[in-house]
Amino acid sequence: MKTLNIITAIVLAFQVSQAQPLKQPAIGGNKKAMVSEDIGITHVAINYDRPGVKGREGKIYGQLVHKGYEDLGFGTSKAAPWRAGANENTTIEFSTDVKIEGKELPAGKYGFFIAYNENECTIIFSKNNASWGSYFYDTKEDALRATVKPVAMDKSVEWLKYEFMNQTENSATVALMWEKLMIPFKVEVDLFKTQIAEYRNELRGSKGFTWEAWDQAASLCLQYNTNLEEGLAWANKAVLFEKNFQSLSTAAMLNEKLGKQQKSDSLMKVAMDMGKIMDIHFYGRRLLNQKRTKEALDVFKYNAKKNPKNFTTYVGLARGFSANGDYKNALMNAKAALPLAPDDGNKNAVAGMIKKLEESKDVN
């Protein structure tokens, strides 16, 4: 009788969908839903039907959601997991390759199933994403399996839902929540790998006709300190499109990373002629961080000559002279900067510099 009822319900559902093509609510009072989020540049989209608890508290897991694998009495599967939702396949789509609980999963759209147990659940990503429920589940179509721990919740969730939690720049936890149980799993992406692959592709199209795109790609290699030769080639492309402080300084920094200091310095000399006051100031600060104090002072002097009697250039000179042990000239420039401070934060910072310099202490 149970098998007959299941078959009747499924047949009726398909008849309704075939005979009435007009839009209607999901079958059985469930709710259709979609949730998506980007992890890095990887788009993750989950489509599912949301069953409700509907007064069945304490009867969801282990009863309505069967344990492990069962013969559901219909379809070809004799050992079917839970469909992790209602009605059709729950599907999860990834726009790039990802890792699920540390295991590699290629980009694509997958049917999603769960084999539930109290202490450990098996999450299953199937290459078949177009079936009805799990009645036709086949282990041969598995793309990935992983085990996760279910987590008890204090508050009950009436309608099954998926949420993204614990987000970082390259990962998120996807959690199924229903009644008083959460089944979470971690999704990770290789942020640099996915971005670099996307940039390679985009630079072949219309975006590759601007210096900004080539500079953006080159800057990514700088950020991750990898693929430096490729990054330099991209930076050189940006310079060919347009010579400006940004494109030249990116190329200079990549040359520096590759041990080509002379080339880097020559590019920065050209860049300084095109740079604005803050561009030059932060270049001087970068040299200070590299302990290239004499070169930093020369940059601050250049900036002061190009932009005289300015708060930023006085501060730069104070830092440059201080780094070279000339506290007298450093103090003179710090005092000149003080009345030009644009706000209380900067004024207090310069006052602190003055106090240190009066004690013959380096301000950097």
Q: What's the predicted TM-score (pTM) here?
A: 0.77
Are 241 and 347 in a shared domain?
no
Are 62 and 154 in a shared domain?
yes
What length does the chain have? 364
Domain assignment present for 35: yes
Domain count, the chain: 3
Domain assignment present for 222: yes
Asked if 222 and 231 count as a contact pair (C-beta separation under 8 A), the reply is yes
User: What's the count of helices (H) and strands (E) in the chain, helices before strands?
Assistant: 11, 10
Domain assignment present for 74: yes
End-to-end CA distance of the chain: 83
Q: Dihedral sign for Cα 238, 243, 249, 255, please.
A: positive
H or E stretch at 66? none
Are 200 and 220 in a shared domain?
yes
Angstrom distances, CA of residue 138 to CA of 49, 75, 81, 122, 237: 21, 11, 10, 15, 51
H or E stretch at 96? none
The token duo for 315 is: 């501060």
Q: Dihedral sign for Cα 15, 20, 23, 27, please.
A: negative
pLDDT means per 10 residues, the chain with 364 residues, are 51 52 70 94 96 93 95 93 94 98 98 97 96 93 98 96 97 98 98 94 95 97 95 97 96 96 95 95 94 95 95 97 96 96 96 96 95
Q: What is the residue range of 323's domain?
A: 290-364
User: Residue 338's domain is classified under what CATH number?
Assistant: 1.25.40
The amino acid occupying position 267 is L
Alpha-carbon gap, residue 235 to 239, rounded angstroms: 6
